[in-house]
Structure 1
């Protein structure tokens, strides 16, 4: 499966979501869908943007699917970690994290999952937790390069800000001069006859410049998903070069299958 997340989709789906967490103040978040592939329980890659208002607090919680979050604007904290642009946070399925606290500037972040999920489960609802391995990663801040810098790069580079682990989790930042090909390393195919091959699924998000390929031109914050069973399209940087974050997504742990 190869699918794309676009700004046009996001602009058409942005909406206000009033929320009131137990014992807290009422808030109005905004949400927009950048990538939407339905609700298949095995593979349905999803990317949505959350705009969290200033001084709001989302309680410590967990999800039933693996997920990345990409914090690119505003300030705040997630648990004991300060948040500043650009921060990448990963939480595996049934791994608690938070609270997620927005500072005076609010927070904007993408939530990125290989499988659709609706809502969060507060960590206080212990009866919904399942025993199994817990997985965290937190990297950043990562500097975002201006197109003027990218255009003058002598060659393409790939920086492993979270080196690829045995379970398939990794974060790489690629910087490409104009016209250069995106040639990242990819984790091995790790599926078998009885489980969906999620190890090696890859999300790409453009941070600066543009990326061309497969009939697409992806600008800042637009994205692509390439499942482990598919070849990476022949992406090249546009006229302003490109800075791209590659999010390698591990297969959901066997305990939660």
Structure 2
């Protein structure tokens, strides 16, 4: 098994402006490149700054999470804002995504395998690729106690899952808390800051992992730090 890439802070990302028929999007690459789906594997993560009012329904060829960092809007019929987590299986249609003016919406797109572009609906229906896969939209509870315990927000039958966790100043993630977070995935620093290894990581940082036990010892460096932990499916087929 290959090791996960290093944690990435916002200052290490690379940002470009993409102007489309829908409007403007700021694309900040954290791991890999958002426009390059040619790699055979590996973590792909980028932050989307959606200034466009609407992004039409579409699907991707890989499983993915989206985690809202800032702003507000709607995903389908769900109101979304900072701390919202969305998951969709590969080839599963979702959207539209609406961003509220004037600030728009900032959200991470997180994948284990790279993909590029969007398959817009309904015109992509002719490809015959869409599936009735699983998806969910959930949100971190800002009022939850800063206990360092993981709060399971949602899980698919194949095992893709989202967790929220809050740490107070000096609070530490331990092995017992991380035991139910099984699989490869990401930790997202939503607010506050954390100490991880020999680094201090601010809000908007990403920590990819091959196993969540790699996060053991991560500690809060603010009065309150909120994190989202997401893990991808461990099963190829859903359990009954």
TM-score by length of 1: 0.77
- Which residue of 2 is the match for residue 95 of structure 1? 92
Greater Rg by CA: 1
What is the CA-CA distance between 1:40 and the residue it aligns to? 3.4
1:6 aligns with 2:22: no
- The answer (yes or no) to whether the contact 1:168–1:249 under 8 Å persists in 2 is yes
**2 CA distance for matches of 1:93 and 1:234?**
33
Give 1:118-197 correspondences, 5 Å limit: 118-124=116-122, 125-130=124-129, 132-140=131-139, 142-143=141-142, 155-162=147-154, 164-183=155-174, 184-188=178-182
Q: Secondary structure in 1 aligned to 2:12?
A: helix
- Which residue of 2 is the match for residue 70 of structure 1? 67
**1 CA distance for matches of 2:132 and 2:149?**
33
Q: Secondary structure in 1 aligned to 2:126?
A: helix
- Which residue of 2 is the match for residue 27 of structure 1? 23
What is the CA-CA distance between 1:74 and the residue it aligns to? 2.4
Counterparts in 2 of 1:126 and 1:254: CA distance versus 1, 3 Å: farther
1:114 aligns with 2:109: no
Q: How many aligned positions are there? A: 227
- Which residue of 1 is the match for residue 217 of structure 2? 234
- The answer (yes or no) to whether the contact 1:210–1:242 under 8 Å persists in 2 is yes
Q: Secondary structure in 1 aligned to 2:192?
A: strand
What is the CA-CA distance between 1:217 and the residue it aligns to? 2.1
**1 CA distance for matches of 2:61 and 2:16?**
24
- Which residue of 2 is the match for residue 197 of structure 1? none
Counterparts in 2 of 1:235 and 1:86: CA distance versus 1, 3 Å: closer
What is the CA-CA distance between 1:7 and the residue it aligns to? 1.1
- Which residue of 2 is the match for residue 212 of structure 1? 195
Note the residue ranges of structure 1 that are not aligned, 5 or more in a row. Answer: 21-25, 189-199
- Which residue of 2 is the match for residue 17 of structure 1? 18
Runs of 4+ residues deviating >6 angstroms: none
TM-score by length of 2: 0.81
Note the residue ranges of structure 2 that are not aligned, 5 or more in a row. Answer: none
**2 CA distance for matches of 1:219 and 1:206?**
7
- The answer (yes or no) to whether the contact 1:87–1:141 under 8 Å persists in 2 is yes
**1 CA distance for matches of 2:96 and 2:54?**
7
- The answer (yes or no) to whether the contact 1:171–1:248 under 8 Å persists in 2 is yes
- The answer (yes or no) to whether the contact 2:12–2:30 under 8 Å persists in 1 is yes
What is the CA-CA distance between 1:116 and the residue it aligns to? 1.3
Question: Could you report, residue by residue, the CA deviation over 1:87-143 in whole angstroms, capped at 9, with x for unpaired residues?
Answer: 111111000011112222321111111111111101221133436550111012643
- Which residue of 1 is the match for residue 51 of structure 2? 53
What is the CA-CA distance between 1:207 and the residue it aligns to? 1.6
